[in-house]
């Protein structure tokens, strides 16, 4: 079973952050409700989450600390200070020994013991900092991919794949590399890179490979293939909620917005991981725009505000955010919306220029000539 990260409020009014073991988000939500928890927020999708075997055999207190640490990284990003605190929490007994022997060395004739302990402690800190390089390198890879710095991306990818054995992270890195190959016309190489993951994906996360292939064909602007692969991904995932959102997004953009509307109607918002909620509202706004609804602009504006709050400081969300800003700028009609678009476009233009469709990039330059978008 997968371990799903969640936040909730207990019946006594206490805030809890922990993992719950379930095969899917629906069961996780029901189990938490059976405990009389409220204000439940799921921060993982059981279908897509990696196995957390490292939690086995740990005490409940230690698992709670890990849950809080992971949530802080998801919400605020990875920081060296947070990583060091976590390292000390994990090795509290070792830290206690450092302090104890250091003090003993100071107040006994064995001064050399203090020196030895001091340098051992410094060595420990440097090892902890070295471990920090792994999440830091992953953030570098995400930034480089979003900004189109291919050289830095492949450098970070090489470092990570030498030090990380987690399949889902390596699949993610290969998936991003495949979109780079596709963007420069090396489509066969892109597909081959992903196909080596077929057995793993079909066994552990059915539909993941097809989701990655959809992203590859989006770089070639073969939108029929994009929709087709998203449909296969959705079906193979047994109609997973996240896959439903992905399919609804490409349907409203490149296919049939009526199908997108039907998909949204079937999504159970409580079961979505929190990061998917702004995405849901964005699709809703696009559907309203297609239907010429007067509510479209307000819905898109509200969804964009949520996206900025959720994704702006997280490189993993920059591509999605930049594309949505581009759409918002294209559809803006009121002066207030146009002004907001003019403020946001320059901030995310580099990402949009790399990952946006050619027609969108050209149209935005024509629509906002005073911005002098390069």
Give me the DSSP letters along 298-328.
HHHHHHHHHHHHHHTT-GGGHHHHHHHHHHH
pLDDT tops 80 at residue 157: yes
Nearest to 131 by CA among 87, 162, 88: 87
pLDDT tens for 259-283 read 999 999 999 888 888 888 999 999 9
Mean pLDDT of the chain: 84
In the chain, % helix, strand, coil (3-state, to 5) comes to: 75, 5, 20
pLDDT given for residue 260 in this prediction: 97
pLDDT given for residue 115 in this prediction: 53
Average pLDDT over residues 38-46: 84
Residue 158 φ/ψ, nearest 5 degrees: -60, -45
Cα gap 67→305, rounded to integer Å? 27
Residue 148 φ/ψ, nearest 5 degrees: 80, 20
pLDDT tops 50 at residue 107: yes
Percentage of the chain beyond pLDDT 90 is: 53
pLDDT tens for 222-270 read 999 999 999 999 999 989 899 999 999 999 999 999 999 999 999 988 8
Q: Across the strands, what pairs with 327?
A: none
pLDDT given for residue 205 in this prediction: 87
Cα gap 9→295, rounded to integer Å? 34
Q: Across the strands, what pairs with 113?
A: none
Nearest to 43 by CA among 246, 309, 310, 300: 310
pLDDT tens for 279-332 read 999 999 999 999 999 999 999 999 999 999 888 888 989 999 999 999 999 999
pLDDT given for residue 88 in this prediction: 45
pLDDT tops 50 at residue 81: no
Residue keyed to tokens 């060395």: 105
pLDDT tens for 162-200 read 888 788 889 999 999 999 999 999 999 999 999 999 999
pLDDT tops 90 at residue 97: no
Q: How far apart are the first and last CA of the chain?
A: 49
pLDDT given for residue 106 in this prediction: 52
Query: At 85, is the pLDDT very low, low, confident or very high (cuts 50, 70, 90)?
Result: very low
pLDDT tops 50 at residue 82: no
Residue 208 φ/ψ, nearest 5 degrees: -65, -45
pLDDT given for residue 132 in this prediction: 44
pLDDT given for residue 310 in this prediction: 83
pLDDT tops 70 at residue 1: no
Average pLDDT over residues 56-80: 67
What's the alpha-carbon Rg for the chain, to the nearest Å? 24
pLDDT given for residue 165 in this prediction: 79
Query: At 345, is the pLDDT very low, low, confident or very high (cuts 50, 70, 90)?
Result: very high
């Amino acid at each position: 079973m997968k371990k799903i990260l969640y936040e909730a409020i207990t019946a006594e009014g206490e805030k809890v952050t922990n993992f719950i073991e379930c095969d899917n988000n629906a069961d996780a939500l029901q189990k938490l409700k059976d405990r009389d928890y409220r204000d439940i927020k799921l921060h993982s999708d059981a279908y897509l989450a990696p196995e957390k075997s490292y939690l086995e055999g740990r005490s409940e207190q230690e698992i709670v600390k890990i849950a809080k640490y992971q949530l802080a990284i998801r919400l605020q990003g990875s920081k060296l200070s947070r990583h060091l605190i976590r390292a000390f929490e994990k090795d509290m007994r070792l830290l206690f020994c450092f302090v104890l022997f250091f003090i003993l060395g100071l107040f006994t004739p064995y001064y050399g013991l203090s020196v030895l302990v001091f340098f051992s402690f410094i060595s420990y800190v440097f090892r902890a900092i070295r471990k920090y390089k792994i999440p830091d390198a992953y953030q570098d890879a995400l930034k480089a991919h979003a900004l189109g710095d291919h050289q830095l991306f492949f450098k970070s990818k090489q470092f990570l794949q030498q030090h990380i054995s987690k399949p889902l992270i390596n699949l993610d890195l290969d998936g991003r590399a495949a979109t780079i190959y596709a963007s420069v016309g090396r489509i066969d190489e892109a597909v081959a890179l992903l196909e080596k993951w077929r057995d793993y994906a079909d066994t552990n996360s059915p539909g993941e490979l097809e989701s990655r292939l959809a992203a590859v064909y989006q770089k070639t602007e073969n939108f029929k293939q994009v929709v087709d692969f998203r449909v296969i991904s959705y079906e193979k995932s047994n109609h997973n909620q996240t896959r439903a959102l992905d399919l609804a997004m490409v349907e409203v953009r490149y296919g049939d917005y009526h199908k997108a509307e039907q998909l949204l109607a079937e999504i159970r918002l409580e079961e979505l991981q929190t990061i998917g909620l702004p995405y849901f509202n964005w699709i809703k706004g696009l559907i309203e725009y297609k239907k010429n609804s007067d509510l479209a602009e307000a819905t898109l504006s509200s969804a964009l505000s949520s996206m900025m709050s959720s994704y702006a400081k997280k490189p993993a969300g920059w591509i999605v955010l930049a594309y949505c800003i581009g759409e918002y700028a294209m559809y803006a009609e009121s002066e207030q919306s146009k002004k907001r678009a003019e403020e946001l476009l320059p901030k995310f233009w580099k990402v949009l220029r790399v990952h946006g469709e050619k027609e969108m990039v050209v149209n935005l330059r024509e629509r906002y000539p005073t911005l002098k978008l390069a």
